[in-house]
Structure 1
């Protein structure tokens, strides 16, 4: 009897397993999950594995730890890592010193012009770092107009080149991360602890350092992590301002693309070390945050404090000064683009010659930029919404792992991504190097997380009942998503998509590795123009990116206020 019962149970189990494995019983979202996994494994996991594998072979093709040994032994490589850590750490410290006080003033005091300050700060953040570096070269370079003025009045000044200039540009470029994170936290913090400290006689400064800052530490550390990672991964600024000061992304690029034939194995090794460092910093931040409990009731949000006229004037002037200094690079680029030039030399007066020259000489770069970015953003919106739905509505171990894979681009510098894609797709059966497709893939992989995060945020706020009602009326899940859920998600998704769009049109590091002549973009052309001292045409191209960024920001602001009418 037992044997018979056991065989009956086994027979019952087999059809169930067969039914689950049968493709006919897979629904739309199962197929979406499978396709996303295939995409991520093809363009993130496989290239990274190929990169890692390649790092264990020497220049003769033999398996060896020689590359890692050379990195440890040779000061040339070690110093590049130390330089990267140095400028990133200093930029993070200075960004905190600027961002936290600015956030505190705008979040806690009733100063005027807050809207203007926030717009200026966000604009300075969305402008690419290499444009900031280029602008400061025009002002504080060896022949910059501020440098010449200082020399004329007898004030000794070197130039913006070197590690100090890199830290300076990084600080002004990335402190908005700290400002935006901290100002949001300060507006929602529970003030009961601060009031308790005040009743015990603590001064304002002591309350801020012992109560307020520890309470917002998770948010502050997240902003600091963003600053550090952005500085650590940036390629354009150190390349333009370094003048012999090497950081790891530059070294990886030079090892990969060299006049002497390059050393892909050493470039792979440096890329692996870049990823390991970025990942270690990410895990360190999460470890320190997880050690303490920072939860608050949030029932008593802070009220704006009124200031005396003199204090209000000083605080407003200080905040506006910081915001306006942040915008100097964009203003410089815009004005410079209209100055008369003859080759690399500027002449008195204004003209449109620089714009005429770029329209005659590099129109293809402008078309490429917007074409590739438009294709990428369409893919990001559709794929981002589908992935967000899977992550939020179809939670499982598989989707949790999917979410982890999507975090990889956060810790992957653009240079590393470009090198990994070339190594992975430079040989049959799939050859993508030298095509526009590989650029679109790189943009989607790097910027997709922005769209996914905004999509998941809006989806968490949507009630399931609307979808369930649609499905119960016989509408298939796929049709329900595109006709109902997708429309409800659209306003929130587009805000993240516009951020992805802005960062895509300004992308330099991965593009510089992956492009060839016919697929050059505006950012790559600016880079080339600066290195050939064609500052007028470089400024005109940079102005196009700045205006595009401003228009995108205005559109995002309109959508966030009014919502999207469908």
Structure 2
């Protein structure tokens, strides 16, 4: 070794010795992000510039622009997402206003029902409405018997209908929180000037909550834009971009990974553009208020109170129809794909005998993922909140990428990145766990940063001043104080993980199938009884998880 090389190695060792625990955490997280987000995305982008002969070309992008088969899928995705967002706002805003401002009955029940409808598997709604309003659905047959013309729930209008009932809770939850905290001074000023209630709502209240409303609308649009299961079940030839990308990547006639990569890149570009568009509109005006005078609950007379309570309960009950349908259907006797009269546990016995591996996989993979998410979420949150710098700000920006990555795109990008030596992960359970962690980690991080912002630094500073190292202080003091809030947020990530379909359907193979993929397969083969039994298991898991999260959040508040 030359003297210069020796000095360099010695200097490097000294610099590494100077790194503390949190510096190493930052480095490890960056390695993780580059390995499983940045590298797969660049692989996806790189792959999109090669034609099916392996030659560098813009042919795929040219075909997308020229061929109606491809560009119509983008138009279909935008059309479905736009109408879903509009209808979700039309349902969510009035429901949130009534719930936040009036003393209606059953507020807690309504909120639980709305949250349950949001956290149910996205394709369960489609499956349930097929049973009711499909070509041979019992409601379809009932309407026909009354002489009412009705075709079926299939097609783009049916997709919008199911999406609206699935995603309007985003608007409800966001707007409810905003309406409870805005300053009422401006509303009272408008009222003193003789403005009507509707005029005050349109010109004062809605503009004040626009940032929150637009954030909820963005969540609805992105969820509808990225969804795979519902359009696949209800489309019947109506193609949206995630389905087209999936079919181009995995096709019985021989896939076209390059075109699938191109469609995936276009999906990400569109999602990112929508995100920045929302931020642009919010940044144009100042929406800050003092927050000194929060709204008071308005007492209603008996008749208006009954009317508003009935209307709110009606919306919540319609939202829960898919859950109720799935549960009831799971107990109906079946003979193959045909339902028989009477009830039995036959569908449950069949799934325990036929697909126990899928059930075990779902909870095993999700449990491993959530443990990783909790540990990483707490450590990353500490770095972002307590060790602010340009480096951590860039890390925070990288963590936003999964927000704009549809599950189908993430699955395709991971296969393209890790399908060749030296790191071959396709066909293993590991790649599924990675996909779950990448997709859901940002939500765990947000819940962790929220609780950490509320904790006073003085506790950990006192521990360090007594000679306890920073790393030990975090695990013995700060981490324990964060735990209830982090766990309640992590349980919500767990719920969405056990219900995950769009990335799983791309990444799984026979031995790593999960409940969501099995439901998808059962519905496609018309085995509705077993599909309903599996869906009921997911619904029960969701309900239990929500109850645990609620209990943990209450404990967190006591801390």
What's the TM-score bracket when you normalise by the shorter of the two chains?
A: over 0.9
- Give SS of 2:503's match: helix
* 1:253-304 deviation per Cα after TM superposition (whole angstroms, max 9, x unaligned): 0000011220000000000000000000000000000000000000000111
Shift of 1:563: 3.4
- Give SS of 1:528's match: helix
Shift of 1:307: 1.3
1:326 aligns with 2:319: yes
- The equivalent residue for 1:203 is 196
Shift of 1:562: 2.8
Matches within 5 A, 1:251-330: 251-330=244-323
Shift of 1:476: 1.5
Contact 1:19 1:25 (8 Å CA) reproduced: no
Shift of 1:565: 9.8
Give distance in 2, aligned partners of 1:221 and 1:534. Answer: 40
TM-align CA RMSD: 1.4
- The equivalent residue for 1:425 is 418
- Give SS of 1:300's match: coil
Unaligned runs of 5+ in 1: 1-13
1:447 aligns with 2:440: yes
Give distance in 2, aligned partners of 1:233 and 1:198. Answer: 42
Matches within 5 A, 1:378-389: 378-389=371-382
Give distance in 1, aligned partners of 2:557 and 2:96. Answer: 30
Give distance in 1, aligned partners of 2:462 and 2:201. Answer: 50
Contact 1:129 1:169 (8 Å CA) reproduced: no
Change (3 A) 1:220 1:20: farther
1:109 aligned to 102, 108, 113, which one?
102
Give the TM-score, by structure 1 length: 0.96
- The equivalent residue for 1:5 is none
1:192 aligns with 2:216: no
Give distance in 1, aligned partners of 2:90 and 2:557. Answer: 38
1:520 aligned to 509, 513, 520, which one?
513
- Give SS of 2:333's match: strand
Give structure 1 regions of 4+ aligned residues with deviation exceeding 2 angstroms: 17-21, 562-566
- The equivalent residue for 2:209 is 216
1:490 aligned to 469, 479, 483, which one?
483
Give distance in 1, aligned partners of 2:421 and 2:50. Answer: 20
- The equivalent residue for 1:530 is 523
* 1:420-453 deviation per Cα after TM superposition (whole angstroms, max 9, x unaligned): 0000000000000000000000000000011000
Contact 1:490 1:564 (8 Å CA) reproduced: no
- The equivalent residue for 2:239 is 246
Give distance in 2, aligned partners of 1:529 and 1:455. Answer: 38
* 1:361-403 deviation per Cα after TM superposition (whole angstroms, max 9, x unaligned): 0000000000000000000000000000000000000000000
Shift of 1:508: 0.1
User: Which has the higher mean CA deviation after the structures are superposed, 556-565 or 371-380?
Assistant: 556-565
Shift of 1:18: 4.5
- The equivalent residue for 1:461 is 454
1:90 aligns with 2:83: yes
2:145 aligned to 152, 160, 164, which one?
152
Give distance in 1, aligned partners of 2:417 and 2:263. Answer: 16
Give distance in 1, aligned partners of 2:180 and 2:456. Answer: 27
2:395 aligned to 384, 397, 402, which one?
402
Shift of 1:19: 7.8
1:64 aligns with 2:57: yes
* 1:473-527 deviation per Cα after TM superposition (whole angstroms, max 9, x unaligned): 2212111111111000001101110110000000000000000000000000000
Give the TM-score, by structure 2 length: 0.97
Contact 2:134 2:140 (8 Å CA) reproduced: yes
1:237 aligns with 2:230: yes
Contact 1:139 1:147 (8 Å CA) reproduced: yes
- The equivalent residue for 2:40 is 47
Give distance in 2, aligned partners of 1:308 and 1:563. Answer: 37
Matches within 5 A, 1:165-184: 165-184=158-177
Q: What number of residue pairs does the alignment pair up? A: 552
Give distance in 2, aligned partners of 1:537 and 1:565. Answer: 43
Unaligned runs of 5+ in 2: 1-6
- Give SS of 1:509's match: coil
* 1:196-232 deviation per Cα after TM superposition (whole angstroms, max 9, x unaligned): 1011110000000000000000000000000000000
Shift of 1:558: 1.1
- Give SS of 1:430's match: coil
